[in-house]
Amino acid sequence: MFEEILLSSDFQMTLLMAVALGGYLIAYRVNQSAVVGIILAGIMVGPSLLGLVTYTDFVSSLAHLGAVVLLFTIGLEFSIKEIAKIRYLVIGLFGVVVPAFGGFFLAELFGFDFKAAVFIGVALTATSIAITANVLREMGKLETEAAKAIIGIAVVDDVLALLFLSMAEGIVSGEISVISLLIIGAKAVGFIVIGIIIGKLVLARFIVRLDKTSLCIKYPESIFIFAIMAAFFYALSAELFGLSAIIGSFLAGASFANVKLKRGEIFKEGADHLQIIFASIFFVSLGVILDINSITINLIWFILALTAVAIITKIVGCGLPARLYGMSLKDSTVVGVGMAPRGEVGMIIALIGLNQGLIGQGVYSAIILVSLLTTIITPLVLRNWLYKK
């Protein structure tokens, strides 16, 4: 009698968390990235294998919540200065253009129609900053030059991918307007600039003052609550300005990056533990999105080719300019590979294409699988090859 309620999304939720944390531990045990272990756990209980959990709005929103908290905690480790550089802008531009053309031409080669090819190109522009950042964090590599470059480029990438998506919709509908693209771009850049200024002038100063108040002596956790609240308000604003919510929470985190607090350790430890739970929520949901049964045999070659193109175009588009800017061969390869995961961003673009009737169920499933494959391959390459001890 309770079953009707409990065997619903509540139950799925509990199950999802239990297996995600199981995947986490198993990945640690075999010395692999938790990202891979958790995604595989999601694939296992999701529609691809056991079918115990289905991908619903609920799982999607949870993933969103997970990504917001995850990027906030990653932001805490970066100061804005380190990631705001002209060269990352240039690298980011190539890192979006090269995959877009690569995806488009491959799709044309496989005989997809023009609309679908445009959309497949756009889906390849995106980078899921959460994946690589988390893998680097696991390996204690967030302090490196390559990590800073990846994060800086990924922020640029998010803005450009937004513009590309708008352009693609314009090209497909025939209603492309330079003005509307400029407005979208200006809003996105405006949010980032205003967000950084408010972060440094208001948030960072306020938290230092809050740290000294009697409220904080009585309830030391107030600092932590305030910071997380700021992260969610930033995420909210980013969404309103057309950017990913995670860019917002990342900026909020970065605003607090170099702030010296009496209760600083409490703050970091809290963030680390949140990160464990919310990263699990986020990654397990990526596994659940995939329904391997929707992939037909004749799509397999296209998926494999698209995965290769997705990875190579990011290595060429980001890694090559990084090398030309004087980065070491290893670091520029790390940057190229690090930008490869499409993760949830590629999946969201695929969903938009499906909803607008620009791509069919087959192409949709293909993009989902490519996003997932690039997401699983990256940690494996980074951990077992590029950063092998």
12 neighbors 42 (Cβ within 8 angstroms): no
| Site residue total, a copy of itself (CB under 8 A) | 67
227 neighbors 254 (Cβ within 8 angstroms): no
Q: Does the footprint of a copy of itself cover residue 29 (CB under 8 A)? A: yes
230 neighbors 203 (Cβ within 8 angstroms): yes
Q: Does the footprint of a copy of itself cover residue 57 (CB under 8 A)? A: yes
Radius of gyration of the chain (CA): 21
- Closer Cβ to a copy of itself, 331 or 344, answer by number: 344
- Closer Cβ to a copy of itself, 64 or 148, answer by number: 64
Q: Does the footprint of a copy of itself cover residue 266 (CB under 8 A)? A: yes
Stretch near a copy of itself under the rule CB under 8 A, chosen from 19-27, 113-121, 367-375, 380-388: 19-27
Count of positions (residues) in the chain: 389
Stretch near a copy of itself under the rule CB under 8 A, chosen from 8-16, 77-85, 92-100, 129-137: 8-16
In three-state secondary structure terms, 244 is coil
Q: Does the footprint of a copy of itself cover residue 250 (CB under 8 A)? A: no
Q: Does the footprint of a copy of itself cover residue 172 (CB under 8 A)? A: no
Owner of token pair 């531009």: 93
Please, which contacts does 318-326 make with residues 24 or more away whose CB atoms are closer than 8 Å?
A: 318/91, 318/92, 318/94, 318/95, 318/153, 320/94, 321/87, 321/90, 321/91, 321/94, 321/95, 322/91, 322/149, 325/87, 325/90, 325/91
Q: Does the footprint of a copy of itself cover residue 175 (CB under 8 A)? A: no
Cβ neighbors of 380 (< 8 A, separation 6 or more) are 32, 33, 36
List 132, 166, 365, 375, residue binding a copy of itself (CB under 8 A) = 166
Q: Report d(CA 66, CA 282) in Å as an integer.
A: 5
Site for a copy of itself in 87-146 (CB under 8 A): none
373 neighbors 346 (Cβ within 8 angstroms): no
Residue 233 Cβ, how far from a copy of itself at the closest point, in Å?
5
List 276, 304, 324, 329, residue binding a copy of itself (CB under 8 A) = 276
- Closer Cβ to a copy of itself, 115 or 323, answer by number: 115
Q: Does the footprint of a copy of itself cover residue 202 (CB under 8 A)? A: no
List 40, 135, 159, 165, residue binding a copy of itself (CB under 8 A) = 165
> Which among 153, 189, 123 is positioned nearest to 345, based on CA atoms?
123
List 109, 225, 304, 329, residue binding a copy of itself (CB under 8 A) = 225
**Chain residues that interact with a copy of itself, rule: CB under 8 A:** 1-15, 17-18, 21-22, 24-25, 28-29, 56-58, 60-62, 64-65, 68-69, 162, 165-166, 169, 215, 218-219, 221-222, 224-226, 228-229, 232-233, 235-236, 239, 242, 245, 266, 269-274, 276-277, 348, 351-352, 355
